[in-house]
Chains A and B, each alone.
Chain A
Amino acid sequence: MSIVIDKSGPFTHGPNNVSRTMFTVLAALAPATLYNLWLFGLPAIFLFIVTMAACAVCEAACVRIGGGNPDRALGDGSVAITGWLLALSLPPWAPWWVAVVASVFAVCLAKHAFGGLGQNVFNPAMVGRVVVLVSFPLQMTSFVTPKPLFTPGSPSLAEAFNITFGRGFSLDGISTASPLGFIKTELSKGNPVSQSIASVPSIGDMMIGFHPGSMGETAVPLILLGGLFLMWRKIISWHIPVSMLATLFLMGTLFNALDPARHAGGMFHLLSGASFLGAFFIATDYVTSPVSKSAQLAFGIGIGLLTWIIRTYAGYPEGVAFAVLLMNALTPILDQHFRPRVFGRTRKGEPLPVRGDK
């Protein structure tokens, strides 16, 4: 036995490691994902595979260029999460090249241009989504009503292949707006929200995902389940999801009470769009969210607020991705500003007064 002294203790370590953390997140996402793949059928499955593969290729290429070990980089599971979340944030019947462009921007630009794992300022999946959203608005807002696998109307293999990989295929005839998009359009036509809300799917349908939307937007209970699983496994804490969803709900409820003709209610805001996926899986991304709990609360509140503002006043019907990216930019500042109180010190960092000193 040779004695090596190369570091300070501790000389024991918890069972946790990076890939275990990452794959736990994927496990938490799995039920919602499987449900959605079933809901949207073969084209969704193709798109999911294309996105995951494109992200993996980008990761391997970037790591190789950077002189790293691509196997190790792929093994840590971080790019799998990026690809997975990116796929969930795309319209399920979007063409393959949208996914590829989004993947290149997500992995090469948002992640590796900043220095790779742990160094990126912005959430890679959301960068990918936003780039294609502003570049290809048509493809990115062509949603379809769910046509579950093994049910009539679900595309056959050939049809699905044509939807995802076909040249010049258009969803014109069958595409429809997401509930958020629908009420926004109606509002711009002069129809108050209080009327148009009657035409969107019921709260129950929204809950179980029977409404048009991106893949990850349509399985609230399963996303919630995954989120609770992550909390139970102590991968995430409640701070970001709860503060974000509570803010969104409060803003929705408050303004709905003030002006129902202009504003949808809190429940509608919670259940539509990527609120839940964003709250539990996107905003909580380790690298791009603050590390201390008080900063996380501020971060979550910020995302909730911005999401509501963007949905209500901006040109886009959905705002989670933008809100997350904007708050990502604030993460370093939040981390600087909100630090935990140090043992034996006041919030300002002065030593606590000694008894009898005052």
Chain B
Amino acid sequence: MLLLTCPCCGLSVEETELAPGGEAHLKRVGPDGSDTSFEQYLFKRENRKGVHFERWRHAYGCGKWFLAARDTATLEVFGTYPAQTTEPPAEIRMKIEKGSRG
């Protein structure tokens, strides 16, 4: 069972308490964006085999969205962080680098 720590309420919770929300850090294009960039935003997921940044919601808890870094090939979780970020924080990046070196 996947365990994630909700950065909003601080609880370590099981997957059944969470709702998955897909890839994180998607950039939504503005009104003058091209069809291709809008397609990218809507459908073309990275679907990475390896480190994946993704959205989760603590649905049966505090109800808040948060983000997680997880390896889709090993199921290793590198950590969770608040949703109010446009890119993974330095601390998470360090953990990932350390993990992939090990």
Q: Are A and B a genuine interacting pair, yes or no?
A: no
